[in-house]
Amino acid sequence: MINSPIIGVTTSVMTDTLVLHMNPCYPDALLRAGGTPLLLPQTGDASAVARYAQLIDGLLLSGGDDIDPARYGEAQSWSCGDICPQRDEFELALCREVLRLGKPIFGICRGIQLLNVALGGTLYQDLKSEWPGSLAHQQHQKPEYTSHPVSIVSDTQLQHILETDMLAVNSHHHQAVKELAPELRVSALSPDGVIEAVEHMQLPFCLAVQWHPERLAWRPGQDAHTALFRAFVEACLR
Ligand code: MN
């Protein structure tokens, strides 16, 4: 396809079997929005990271394991989940390089956490134990179903894309943004006050959400989630 931007998508590795892992919903959502997804294997090689960043028109930070709390200056709590230090190393280096180049970034689930940590923010290692009274952010329903609303902050890029003040989202996370990185602002909150979306205050498109729009986009009645992928792919064309 002409004018189809190349969008790097970060992958995970199943630690027990060493199999490269990617839920196809991420690349499928990008393809349907007119993008050309390119899965990026992890590497600790700085020159390979720089080549990836040069090659791609935009970066999708996908979901996955928890980030090593050492990356934001905390000891690992009992309630923190599995971590993958190699993936953290790779994604933080790649994210910072793509930020430096000013290319579009879209973060999903782990991706919002990665973006916040890359820019100097911190995370709740476990909402349930650290924020008593928070909603059930690990929903029992399948990811194709929504479980809680988020309120969209007025006059944010996210509000302009979604064209709504309220959105029903799915929720499959036990961590969340705690201290917001200085260059980011909050663009959506769940009713308990948990940060559900952030965006960069200077860059043209650097946005991340705590929910999983790739599991909702292109389903009937889920146009707002589809609009996120369309807006990202469109930003990657510029
Ligand atoms: Mn949630």
The DSSP H or E segment spanning 21 is strand 19-21
Q: What are 194-227's pLDDT values in tens digits?
A: 999 999 999 999 999 999 999 999 999 999 999 9
171: left (phi over 0), alpha (psi -120 to 50) or beta: beta
Instruction: Compute the average pLDDT of residues 36-64.
Output: 97
Domains contained in the chain, number: 1
Query: Does residue 191 sit within a domain?
Result: yes
Strands 58-61, 195-200: parallel, antiparallel or unpaired by DSSP? unpaired
**Assigned token pair, 145:** 């179903």
Residue 107 has pLDDT above 90, yes or no: yes
Cα of 44 vs centre of ligand 1, distance in Å, is 31
CATH number reported for the structural domain that contains residue 211 in this entry: 3.40.50.880
What mean pLDDT is reported for the chain? 96
Set 137, 196, 214, 225: catalytic member: 214
- Out of 109, 199, 206, 236, the active site residue is 109
Model confidence at 15, pLDDT cuts 50, 70, 90, reads confident
Taking the centre of ligand 1 as the mean of its atom positions, its distance from the CA of residue 172, in whole angstroms, is 7
Asked about 137 being catalytic, the answer comes back as no
pTM (two decimals): 0.97
> Considering 173, 200, 212, 225, which one is annotated as catalytic?
212
To the nearest whole percent, how much of the chain has pLDDT over 90?
96
Residue 18 pLDDT level (bands cut at 50, 70, 90): confident
The amino acid at residue 81 is G
The Å distance, Cα 128 to ligand 1 centre, comes to 12
At 17, the pLDDT band (50, 70, 90 cuts) reads: confident
- Residue 221: φ, ψ to 5°: 80, 5
Residue 74 domain-assigned? Answer: yes
Distance 20 CA to ligand 1 centre (A): 27
Give residue 226's domain range: 6-237
Within 13 A of 42's CA, how many CA atoms are on the CB side?
22
What pLDDT is recorded for position 16? Answer: 84
Structure-block tokens of residue 206: 């650097």
Of 17-26, 57-66, 112-121, 204-213, the one with minimum mean pLDDT is 17-26
171 Cα: distance to centroid of ligand 1 (angstroms): 4
The question of whether 212 is a catalytic residue gets the answer yes
Q: Please give the pLDDT value at position 99.
A: 98
Summarize the confidence of residues 3-24 as an average pLDDT.
Answer: 93
Mean pLDDT of all residues in 29-38: 98
Cα of 104 from ligand 1 centre, angstroms? 24
Q: Is 109 one of the annotated active-site residues of the chain?
A: yes
Instruction: Take residue 160 and report the two structure tokens written for it.
Output: 């302009």
Look at residue 1 and tell me if it is in a domain. Answer: no
186 within a domain of the structure (yes/no): yes
Residues, Cβ < 5 Å to ion ligand 1: 137, 171
- Domain assignment present for residue 63? The answer is yes
Does any domain span residue 160?
A: yes
Give pLDDT tens digits for 66-94.
999 999 999 999 999 999 999 999 999 99
